[in-house]
Amino acid sequence: MTVAVFFGCAFIAFGPAFSLFIFTIAKDPLRVIILIAGAFFWLLSLLLSSLVWFIATKASNADDTSLQRGLLIFGVIFSVLLQEVFRYGYYRLLRKANEGLAAISEDDASSISVQQMAYVAGLGFGIMSGAFSMINILSDSLGPGTVGIFGDSQYYFITSALMTLALTLLHTFWGVVFFEGCEKRRWWVIGVVVMLHLIVSCLSLMNPLYSGSLPPVYAIMVLMAAWAFFSAGGSLATIKQLCSRGPGQDSVLLSSMR
């Protein structure tokens, strides 16, 4: 507990997302707006899924713990599906907005590409998802207490932070891949993204058996990172360029990616 755990978990969970925000999004107002709207869409999906879960629990017997657990699992799966539906909805909205922006701009090209919007939207989803999962836990970690005093796992905070980090980055990668799939009309891509999201959530159902949930989730995250990288236009050549170029030449690399 205390401040050390608070800062440690906060930086683990939100460090990469925060740096991504500072370095790639904060300077461009349009991206900030897309980010916040993405967070809003995720929030809407959460609201609807909580509504469904709430109704289900109220309609059922509150004392039957296995039933409640079953309903919670149902809630998780329904929420995942709804999040993907809202991601698709956000994609449609962004496409329309993009067309609008392109139509009224001088050179018939909007100032932001679909890939960039995909990245920002994914990050918006990820940040909001991470924040909702982690913030209450973080605020509890500031105060006094002993973790796991009743026999629960001692590693609650750190595993929560690690899981939050994984999910935030996963949302970002899923956003990129999902939008790319929608753009190119490859519906199997969307199916795979949904499947992977379901798999990740179901892996978390194994908690507190952390060895069963965290390593596979991180493996999936690395795979998704590679997939998103190649889907966004990266290639082995660009990786080599990245490694061979010095610090001042990264802007060239960034501009070479669509």
Q: Tell me the site size for other proteins, rule CB under 8 A.
A: 52
Which of the stretches 45-53, 224-232, 237-245, 246-254 binds other proteins when contact is defined by CB under 8 A?
A: 45-53
Residue reference for tokens 């982690």: 134
CB atoms < 10 A from the CB of 99, how many? Answer: 11
Residue type, position 197, single letter: H
* Closer Cβ to other proteins, 209 or 252, answer by number: 209
Q: Does 159 bind other proteins (CB under 8 A)?
A: yes
Rounded to the nearest whole angstrom, what is the least distance from the CB of residue 101 to other proteins in the complex? 7
Q: Measured between alpha carbons, how far is residue 134 from residues 9, 108, 109, 131, 243 in Å?
A: 9, 42, 39, 5, 34
Residue 47 near other proteins by CB under 8 A: yes
* Contact flag: residue 51 with other proteins (CB under 8 A): yes
239 Cβ contact list (under 8 Å, min separation 6):
none
120 contacts 171 by C-beta, under 8 angstroms: no
Segment interacting with other proteins (CB under 8 A) among 3-11, 16-24, 158-166, 231-239: 158-166
Q: Which of 237, 213, 234 is nearest to 162 (CA)?
A: 213
Please name the residues in contact with 218: beta carbons below 8 A apart, sequence gap of 6 or more: 166
Q: Which residues contact 144 (CB under 8 A, 6 or more apart)?
A: 1, 2
Q: Which is nearer to other proteins, 131 or 169 (CB)?
A: 131
Query: C-beta of 115: minimal distance to other proteins in Å?
Result: 19
Question: Which residue shows structure tokens 């978390």?
Answer: 204
Residue range at the interface with other proteins (CB under 8 A); choices 132-140, 182-190, 236-244, 247-255: 132-140
For position 67 contacting other proteins by CB under 8 A, the verdict is no
Are 163 and 14 in contact, with CB atoms under 8 Å apart? Answer: no
Q: Cβ 244 to other proteins, closest distance in Å?
A: 36
Under rule CB under 8 A, residue 200 binds other proteins:
yes
- C-alpha distance across the termini of the chain, in Å: 44
Q: Is 33 in the site for other proteins (CB under 8 A)?
A: yes
In the complex, minimum distance from the CB of residue 176 to other proteins, in angstroms, rounded to a whole number: 20
> Which member of 16, 18, 93, 132 binds other proteins (CB under 8 A)?
132
Closest listed residue to residue 115, CA positions, set 126, 123, 107? 123
Q: Give me 210's structure tokens.
A: 């952390």
Per CB under 8 A, 53 contacts other proteins: yes
- Under the binding rule (CB under 8 A), the answer on residue 116 touching other proteins is no
Residues contributing to the site for other proteins (CB under 8 A) = 29-30, 32-33, 36-37, 39-40, 43, 46-47, 49-51, 53-54, 57, 68-69, 72-73, 75-76, 79-80, 83, 101, 104-106, 111, 128-129, 131-133, 135-137, 139, 156, 159-160, 163-164, 167, 200-201, 204-205, 207-208
